Amino acid sequence: MRIQVIIILLALSTQLTAQKYSNEFLSIGVSARAQAMGNSVVASTNDVTAGYWNPAGLAFVGKNTGLQLGAMHAEWFAGVGKFDYVGMTIPFANGKSRVGLSFIRFGIDNIPNTLSLYEDDGTINYDNITEFSAADYAFIVSYGKEVKTNNDGKLAIGGNVKIIRRLIGTFADSWGFGLDLSAQYKLKNWRMGLLARDVTTTFNAWNFQFTNNEKETLRLTGNDVPISSTEITRPQMIFGLGYQFKFGDIKVMPEFNAVATTDGKRNTLISGDPISIDPSMGLEVQYNDFLALRAGVNQFQQLSDLDRSDYWTARPSIGVGLKLSNLVIDYAFTDIGDNRNTYSHIVSLVFDLKPKSDKEEE
């Protein structure tokens, strides 16, 4: 792997102007349940992963649930990229508010650094090759609160504070900060959700640290030396609508989500400038709150064949979930949407630590 690999990684951050697609790793999504449903969970999410999908949903985790923990591991692009998530949520004393903490890492490890491959006399010295990682981190603090309504519905509001750290070996690093606002509403069997992501616009400030020898190597190979820059993540609006059908011990929940981006024309089902809309759909069938079967589809994109004829593609997904006492195990089979059929197995866990009741304490 030659020096171009490093340059490709750095190319995302070299311009002084705002990048069109920044912090895209935060669009992948956490939990195998969400991945199996095509990421269509903004209206129905009500566990620890709501800290990512819709922080208002934390208020509906459950009054009898104390500390709740969540974790997920996924490998994309045939294991090249690794995506990890851990989260926790705890209630306030009133039982109607919760705070959540989430940590996300998406990284590519063991990348060869060939900037020092050549000696001063032009000979190749493979002993000079070292390895580095390119990784994106996000730390999210979430809050959800149920508020009073004048009807039979239940309304919750919430928000996120995000700290983003991105590293490319010792060559480049950035810090970013952002805010999300959200709401979730339940009325009988209806579920509605709204997430305003990066409402204040999220800024990532990049710094680059190249030695003089590395800068010279970049110039000799026809590459620009990156300079300090700022990336901007523009606001998104995500709307979700679901309805729960009940047939005895069986619950059926179809959900529709739509992501409205504001950063210009994208390759989505509804493409416009500056607003594009990316719809998704998911379905969950639960039996006796023990077994769940799921399916979904999202990321509708138009591509061109070799003969320049256009065709549409989408990202399908399936999954299953099991609830064993206080532990929920979810599995999903899907891909990141790179249109190369690099499907991945995703596993996530949610574990409840229920507080002791008064009788148990006695």
Instruction: Look at residue 67 in the predicted model and tell me its pLDDT.
Output: 93
Distance of CA 330 to the CA centre of its chain: 17
Which two tokens mark 239? Answer: 């709307």
- Categorize the per-residue pLDDT at 261 as very low, low, confident or very high, splitting at 50, 70 and 90: very high
Beta-carbon contacts of 191 under 8 Å, excluding residues fewer than 6 positions away, are: 43, 44, 184, 185, 240, 241, 242, 243, 244, 253, 255
3-state DSSP assignment of residue 216: helix
Token pair in block for residue 130: 């070292």
State residue 119's pLDDT score.
62
Give the pLDDT of residue 110.
77
Q: Determine the Cα–Cα distance for residues 198 and 113; give it in Å rounded to an integer.
A: 34
Average pLDDT on 7-22 reads 46
Helix (H, G, I), strand (E, B) or coil at 192: strand
pLDDT > 50? residue 185: yes
| Phi, psi dihedral angles at 78 (to 5 degrees) | 60, 35
What's residue 220's pLDDT? 67
Q: What is the pLDDT of residue 228?
A: 72
Q: What is the pLDDT of residues 312-341, one digit of tens each?
A: 888 899 999 999 989 999 999 987 655 555
Residue 335, helix vs strand vs coil: coil
Q: How confident is the model at residue 205 (pLDDT cuts 50, 70, 90)?
A: confident
H-run or E-run covering 126? none
- Cβ proximity of 255 and 282 under 8 Å: yes
**Two tokens, residue 317:** 């997904």
